[in-house]
Structure 1
Amino acid sequence: MNFDGEDLSHKALSERLDPEETHHFRGCDLTETDLWGASLAGARFESCVLDQTDFRKADLDGADFTGGGGMRIRFNDADLLDVTFTDVDLSSAQFGGALLTDVTFTGCRMIGAALTASRGTGFTVTRSNLTLANLGGCSLRGEHVEGVRFDDADLSGCDFTEATLSDCRLIGTRLLNTTFTGADLRGADLGQPDDARLRAFAGAVINQTQANAILAARGITVL
C-alpha cells in the first residue's frame, strides 16, 4: 500500500494497514500518528514528518527510513531487525525496550536520543550526531564507529571492546563503567583527560599526540 504526500497526522493507522502488504510512505505527515503495534515489516518511510510518531510495539523488521524524521519519535518495545536509518532526524527518539539487531544509523541527527534498555545484538552508527544521547549499557563491541559526536552523551556501561573510533568526539562524555579494552581510539578526540576518563580508557590504544596531551595535563613534558 502506498501513501504519497498524505496528511496522516493525529490518526490511528494500525487497523488500516494490511499485514500481508508492504507499505511505502513518501513525503507524508505522520505527526503524532498512532502506529502502536502496527505490522510494518519491510516498510519504507521516505522524507516523512515523524514528530512524536508512535511506533511502540510495532513490527518494523527490514524497514527503511530515508530523510525526514522529527522530535520524540517513540520506538519503545518495537522490533527493529535489519532496519536502516539514513539522514533521519531522530532527536530525542525513544528506543527503550526495543529489539535492535543489525540496525544501521547513517548521517542521522540523534541529539538526546535514548537507546538505553534496548535489546538485541546491537547497531552500527556512522557520521551521526549523538550529542546528549543516552546509550547506557549498549554494545558497540568490535564496531567501526566513524564520524560520530558523542559530546555530553551518557555511555555508562557501554561495551566498546575492540571497536575502532575514527573521527569521533568524546568531549564531556559520561564513561562510568564503560569498557574500551582493545579499542582503537587513535582517531578520536578524547576530551579533557582527567583521571576518571583515563580509567575508562584502560586497555585502549591511543596515539603519541594523545599521550603527550595526557602527560602535559599532569605537568609532564615529553621531549
Structure 2
Amino acid sequence: MNIQEKLEQHKAWLKTDGGEGERFRASKADLSEVDFLGANLKGADFSFANLTGANFSETNLGFTNLFEANLTGANLRDASLRGANLSFANLTGANLEKANLVEANLVEAILIEANLSKAKLREAYLSRANLTSANLSFATLTGAYLEGANLVGVNLKGSNFVGAYLDGANFTGANLNGANLLGANMFGATLIAAILCNTTMPDGKIDNSGCY
C-alpha cells in the first residue's frame, strides 16, 4: 500500500466532495507503526485495521470509521476524532491526551490504561467501555454517555461530568478529586473506595469525605 499516494487521493476526494480522488480505505489493513502525523484523514475507513503503535498525533480523523480497529499503544495526542466511530476498538495504552472526541462513538471500546488527560469528550458515547486504570484527569465529559462503563481505578481528577449519563457505571477506586458531577445521572453507579475530595455531586453538594 502506497500511503502517500492514498493520502493525496483522499485529499482530492475531500476537496471535491467525492468528485475526484478516492476515499482512504484501509479496512482490515496492517498499518502498525505507520506515521500519519498531521495528515487529514477525515472520513477515512480504518475498520478492523491493525493500527498498533501508529502515530496519528495532530491528525484529522473526524468522522472516520475505526470500528473494531486495533489502536493499542497508538499516539493520538491532539488528534481530532470528532464524530468518529471507535466502537469496539482496542485503545489499550493509547495516548489520547488533548484529543477531540466530541460526539465520538466509543461504545464498548477498550481504553485500559489509555491517556485521555484533557481530552474533549462532550456528548461522546462510552456506554460499556472499559476504561480501567485510564487517565482522564481534567477531561471534559459534559453530557457524555457512560452507562455501564468500567471506570475502576481511573484518574478523574478535575474532570467535568456535568449532565453526563453514568447509570450503572463502576467507579470503584477511582480518583474523583475535584471532579464535577453536577446534574449527572448516576442511578446504580458504584463508588466503592472512590476518592471524593472537593467533588461536586449530582445534587450540587461538595463531598470532602475522601480528603486527607
Alignment correspondent of 2:40: 39
Contact persistence 1:122–1:138 (CA under 8 A): no
The amino acid that maps onto 1:23 is F
Name the SS for the 1:107 alignment partner.
coil
Instruction: Check 1:44–1:141 CA distance in 2 against 1; reply closer, same or farther (3 A cut).
Output: same
Alignment correspondent of 1:200: 199
Report the identity percentage.
25
Instruction: Check 1:120–1:166 CA distance in 2 against 1; reply closer, same or farther (3 A cut).
Output: closer
TM-score normalized with structure 1 length: 0.78
Quick check: 1:17 aligned with 2:18? no
* Structure 1 segments unaligned to the other structure (5+ residues): 1-7, 206-223
Contact persistence 2:168–2:186 (CA under 8 A): no
Larger Cα-atom Rg: 1
Name the SS for the 2:102 alignment partner.
strand
Contact persistence 2:149–2:168 (CA under 8 A): yes
Higher strand share: 1
Alignment correspondent of 1:217: none
Distance in structure 1 (CA, Å) of the matches to 2:182 and 2:137: 17
TM-score normalized with structure 2 length: 0.81
CA deviation after TM superposition for structure 1 residue 66, in Å: 1.0
Structure 1 window deviating more from structure 2 (128-137 vs 54-63): it is 54-63
Name the SS for the 2:186 alignment partner.
strand
CA deviation after TM superposition for structure 1 residue 156, in Å: 0.6
Distance in structure 2 (CA, Å) of the matches to 1:107 and 1:187: 19
Quick check: 1:167 aligned with 2:193? no
Instruction: Check 1:118–1:66 CA distance in 2 against 1; reply closer, same or farther (3 A cut).
Output: same
Contact persistence 1:59–1:80 (CA under 8 A): yes
Aligned residues: 193
Quick check: 1:180 aligned with 2:181? yes
CA deviation after TM superposition for structure 1 residue 119, in Å: 4.6
* Structure 2 segments unaligned to the other structure (5+ residues): 14-22, 205-212
Distance in structure 1 (CA, Å) of the matches to 2:127 and 2:34: 28
Distance in structure 2 (CA, Å) of the matches to 1:186 and 1:204: 13
What RMSD over aligned residues (CA atoms) do the two structures have, in Å? 2.3
CA deviation after TM superposition for structure 1 residue 109, in Å: 0.6
CA deviation after TM superposition for structure 1 residue 68, in Å: 3.0
CA deviation after TM superposition for structure 1 residue 105, in Å: 0.7
CA deviation after TM superposition for structure 1 residue 162, in Å: 2.7
The amino acid that maps onto 1:58 is T
CA deviation after TM superposition for structure 1 residue 169, in Å: 0.3
